[in-house]
Chain A
Amino acid sequence: MLSDDVVSAAQSGKAEAFSEIYAALAPGINGYLKVRGLEDHEGAVQEVFLALFSRIGSVRGGFTGLRTLAFSIAHARYVDDVRRRARQPQLSPYDPDADRRAVASAETALLETLGESDIGRHLKELKPDQQEVLLLRVVADLTLEQVAEIMGRSTGSIKQLQRRALLKLKSVVERKEALL
């Protein structure tokens, strides 16, 4: 966590402050977008910080407010990516033999990074809203109020979603463990 003075310095146009903010927030935003399954999550990170630095003069609440704004922009990028993929459906059937791609997808890379815990596969058994709340709470380390602001819901509904997501994840993990 950075101090609020860094945000003030960035608002006054100091380049070092921008570098510190990027170094502090870029890994979390990159991980959030990667877990969400964006193909070009690194390019999305660039877009998020361009929008964030352009609007840094309007940031209120110090570093906490800046962090909330950064993940709000990242969440909006994720929603845009989902809508874009919905508008451009894959019409041709997938042929594994014809697939020449050598780079693994973001989800595959995430699953690889998750390692033995299989948390990626566990998350896929949750509803999208439940996944979003857990990612924003655990990966982005945001509060209930901040998550509610980002998702456009009330704090009570977010708290309810969070409880159901944790109970679902607990049942999935314990069931997998029992199967093994």
Chain B
Amino acid sequence: MKHLEISDDDAVRLLLDEAEVAPSEQLESSLLALRSAGKASSAPEPSGELMVFMTTTPAPAPVVPLRRHRNVRGALMVAAALAGTGLGVSGVAAANPDFRTAADQAVHNVVGFFAPSAAGKAERADHAEHGVPAGIPAAPDRTQPNDDSGPETGTGSDSNRPADPAADPATDAAHPAPPGHSLTPGQSPETPGGNRSVKSDPNGAERDPVTPFRGLLPGTPPLDGTLPDPTKPDPPKDKPGKGLPLEDGSLPSPDPGRIPELPVAPEPQR
């Protein structure tokens, strides 16, 4: 839309008509001089801030990062540090013969567990035959008499050593019960190394590792919910140890000379 331009004379005349003022030559000349004074002034040069609006700014150049490979270099440094750490740990571990033995055993266990080969099956069967599950090192043979065992007092001072040699788990592990022979009450379920012994029953099914002797120990009802028969006699209890008085209060041997002497503590020197 283009606005109509009017001359200065017409503008002054319209102004006087609008104000209802009688026109005069002196007044019109004064108003024309005032109007031309405003138009005569030239526009000042625009400042730099105004020139920003009045000049077309070229499109900014694409920004190129100066350090483009920063991420790649960081990843390489991290990978080098991890590789160095891994090599160091591997070298230290390879220099330790115990570690190699343990690693071989662990590899065998893992391989035999996930992909049991013929050799693995044979090995597991061999372990099962000896009463030791696959994956657990065989217990050392402890049938030989121990030199530092000393006289048996039967007091149970050594908690790791059972009072009854017949109940020795090591011996039991070394000589497992033949097939078809169940465990008798009083046999220790622990292996010498403290590992829980999971033995197979005659049918080949493995026993519950959590409650391996439930139903076998006196006073523990079986899991099938049946109660023990009250007409049946109680299973035999544990025998007293050697040197201990019997249940009726009598000594196991009437000979007082066979009663072990109790050690006497030396009197403190003053």
- Footprint of B on A, CB under 8 Å? 1, 3-5, 15-16, 18-19, 22-23, 26-28, 30-32, 34-35, 42, 45-46, 49-50, 53, 62-64, 110, 113-115, 117, 119, 122-123, 134-135, 137-141, 144, 159, 162-163, 166-167, 169-170, 173-174, 177
A113: B residues at CB distance < 8 A = 37, 40-41
Tell me the smallest distance from the CB of A55 to a CB of chain B, in Å: 12
**Given A35-B38, A166-B19, A117 contacting B44 (CB threshold 8 A):** no
Per DSSP, chain A at the interface is helix
Is B34 at the interface (CB under 8 A from chain A)?
yes
Of the candidates B1, B18, B49, the one whose C-beta lies within 8 Å of that of A3 is B1
Closest CB in chain B relative to A166 CB, distance in Å: 5
Q: Which residues of A contact B33 (CB under 8 A)?
A: 114-115, 117, 119
> Is there contact, CB below 8 Å, between B43 and A23?
yes
Judge whether B38 and A22 touch: CB under 8 Å. Answer: no
Q: Which single member of A1, A31, A137, A139 contacts B2 (CB below 8 Å)? A: A1
Q: Which residues of chain A come closer than 8 Å to B20, judged between CB atoms?
A: 163
Taking the complex as formed, is B12 at the interface, i.e. its CB lies under 8 A from any CB of chain A?
A: yes
Q: Is B68 an interface residue (CB 8 A)?
A: no
Shortest CB-to-CB span from B1 to chain A, Å, is: 5
Q: Which residue of A has the minimal Cβ distance to B57?
A: A15
Residues of B within 8 A of A23 (CB): 43
State the total of A-B contacts with C-beta under 8 angstroms: 129
Q: Mark B27-63, 1 if CB is under 8 A from A, else 0.
A: 1011101110111111110110110011111000000
- In the complex, what residue of chain B is closest to A32 when comparing beta carbons? B38
Residues of B within 8 Å of A163, CB to CB, are 19-21
Contacts of A135 in B (CB 8 A): 34, 38
Q: Which residues of B contact A114 (CB under 8 A)?
A: 33-34, 37
Contacts A115-B33, A141-B11 given; does A166 touch B49 at CB 8 Å = no
User: Cβ of B159 < 8 Å from any Cβ of A?
Assistant: no
Q: Which of B20, B24, B37, B46 has the most CB of A within 10 A?
A: B37
Within the complex, what minimum Cβ distance (angstroms) separates B183 from chain A? 95
- B55 contacts across to A, CB distance below 8 A: 15
Neighbour of B12 across the interface among A31, A115, A138, CB < 8 A = A138
Assembly CA distance A32 to B35 (angstroms): 10
Cα A45 to Cα B47 in complex, Å, equals 10
